[in-house]
């Protein structure tokens, strides 16, 4: 299940620029920074859940 989540996130990260290229070009630097914060928080949360399940 964890591998499925990881591959899904990787696939989405590769596919998103193709779908949202025009939308991304309109974004400001602050919005990109907020999006990066959200992604890093999501990865931290998934990693924390995985370590809790392993223990």
The two tokens of residue 4 are 């499925």
Full domain range(s) for residue 6: 2-54
Q: What was the pLDDT predicted at 30?
A: 74
Number of Cβ within 10 Å of residue 2's Cβ equals: 12
In the chain, how many domains are there?
1
Residue 44 near residue 38, CB atoms below 8 Å:
no
Q: What was the pLDDT predicted at 22?
A: 67
Q: What was the pLDDT predicted at 5?
A: 78
One digit per residue, pLDDT tens: the chain, 55 residues?
677 877 887 777 777 766 777 666 676 767 778 888 888 888 888 888 777 777 6
39: helix, strand or coil: helix
The whole-angstrom separation of Cα 36 and Cα 32 is 6
């Amino acid at each position: 299940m964890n591998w499925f989540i990881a591959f899904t996130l990787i696939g989405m990260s590769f596919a998103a620029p193709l779908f949202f290229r025009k939308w991304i070009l309109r974004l400001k630097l602050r919005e990109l920074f907020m999006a990066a914060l959200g992604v890093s928080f999501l990865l931290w949360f998934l990693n924390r859940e995985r370590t809790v399940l392993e223990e």
